[in-house]
Structure 1
C-alpha cells in the first residue's frame, strides 16, 4: 500500500471512520498511525492506534469481533480515511453494533432502510435454527422449499394485481410480503442477502442494466 500521500496530523495520526460495507452504518471512529494503516492493509483487518494507551491495537484481538476490510478510501484532502468493513460482531466495547447509538438530536425514526432488512434476515435465521412452535416462519421451513417457492409465486402475483389496480396502499403491503418470503427462500438456499446486494453494486459500478 502506498501511503505517501496520506496526511497524518502533528501526532502522526489520521482519523479512520469505520463503516459497515453492507449496511453503510457508521460503526466507530478511531485513529491510525502509519504502522497501523500498513498493518491493516497487510492483514485485511482493522488495526488502530490507541491514544490513551499509546500503542497499536487489533480490533477483535481479544473479543473476536474483528473487522474484515473490504475497502479503504481517503477523503479529498487526504487527511481522513473511511474503512469499509464486514464486522464479525459488535463494533463497540459496550456490546452494541455501532459506537454511535446515543441520540443527541433529531426524532426517533426507527430502523434505517437497510437496517430493517438486516434485522429481518437475522430474525429469519434465528427462526430457522430454533424453530419456535407456532411461528409462521417455522411453518415455512418445516414445509420445505416447495412451500416457500409457492408462497413467493403467490406473493409475486399479488404484487402484480395490486400494481394493476393502482392501489398503492395494497401494493406496499404485498411488496413487503414478497420481500419477506424472498428472504426466507434465500435463507433456505443458504444465500446471504449481502450477496444479492453485491450483484446490484457491481451492476451499478458497471452501469449495466438488470438482466431481462
Structure 2
C-alpha cells in the first residue's frame, strides 16, 4: 500500500474510521507514516494529533481502543479507510460516533420496516392496520401466519414461477419480523446468534 504523505505540507493524510460490522463511520483523524506504522504494528489505531503535535493511540486514556481489522487507501493514495472493532464509545464526549449517532446495525429497508411494525404494534387501537390486528389477535395467530407463509414459500420454491416464489418469500419475511417483535426481539438479536455460531 503506497500512501502519498507528501501531498500536504504537514505530511498528514485523512483517515476515515469505519466499524467493520455495522459499517457506520465512527470518526475522522489524521495519520503520518509513523502513525500508520504504529497502527499496523500494535493493531490499535494510532493517529497524529494536530493539537498535541504527537502520536496518539485512540483509547490510550479511556481504554476505548479501535482494534484494527483492515486498512484501504483511496484511488489517489491520499486518504485511508480503516476498518475497526471499537472497544466502547469512539467519541471523547462518550457517544458511539463523533456525530453523536448510535453505532447500531442497520439493514436498510428492513430496518425501516421494523420501525413501521413497531409503530403499528404500539397503535393497537387502529382498526385499519393489518399489523395491529395481528398483534391484537396474539402470538398464536402470528405464529400461525408465519407457518402458513413458510408452507406457501416451500410450495412456490418447488414450482417454476419466480414471481410467486419471491412474493411468498416477502410475505414470510414480513410475518417473521412481526413474530420477532411479538416475542420482544428484532433482526439484530438473530444476527448476534448467527455471529456467535460463525466464531
Task: Give the TM-score category using the shorter length.
Answer: 0.5 to 0.7
Give the TM-score of the pair, scaled to structure 2. Answer: 0.60
Query: Match for residue 58 of structure 1?
Result: 57
Structure 1 residues 192 and 39, CA, compared in 2 at 3 Å: closer, same or farther?
A: farther
Matched-pair contact (CA < 8 Å) for 1:162–1:174: no
Give the TM-score of the pair, scaled to structure 1. Answer: 0.57
What does the per-residue CA deviation read over 1:64-122, in whole Å, with 9 as the maximum and x for residues that have no partner?
111111100000110000000010111111111111237xxxxxxxx8427x97xx9xx
Matched-pair contact (CA < 8 Å) for 2:17–2:27: yes
Query: Match for residue 48 of structure 1?
Result: 47
What does the per-residue CA deviation read over 1:144-196, in whole Å, with 9 as the maximum and x for residues that have no partner?
xxxxxxxxx97863541464695688544323135948865776xxx563765
What does the per-residue CA deviation read over 1:24-49, in whole Å, with 9 as the maximum and x for residues that have no partner?
10000000011110000001110001
**Aligned-residue RMSD, C-alpha:** 3.7
Matched-pair contact (CA < 8 Å) for 1:158–1:174: no
Instruction: Give the whole-Å Cα distance in 2 for the aligned partners of 1:66 and 1:101.
Output: 18
Unaligned runs of at least 5 residues, structure 1: 103-110, 121-152, 199-212
Structure 1 residues 92 and 155, CA, compared in 2 at 3 Å: closer, same or farther?
A: farther
Matched-pair contact (CA < 8 Å) for 1:156–1:178: no
Structure 1 residues 65 and 158, CA, compared in 2 at 3 Å: closer, same or farther?
A: farther
Structure 1 residues 44 and 171, CA, compared in 2 at 3 Å: closer, same or farther?
A: same
Instruction: Give the whole-Å Cα distance in 1 for the aligned partners of 2:38 and 2:63.
Output: 18
Largest Rg, 1 or 2: 2
Aligned length: 149
Matches within 5 A, 1:49-198: 49-101=48-100, 112-113=106-107, 157-161=147-151, 163=153, 166=167, 171-176=172-177, 177=179, 180=185, 191=193, 193=195
Instruction: Give the whole-Å Cα distance in 2 for the aligned partners of 1:33 and 1:161.
Output: 58
Unaligned runs of at least 5 residues, structure 2: 115-142, 157-163
Structure 1 residues 16 and 171, CA, compared in 2 at 3 Å: closer, same or farther?
A: same
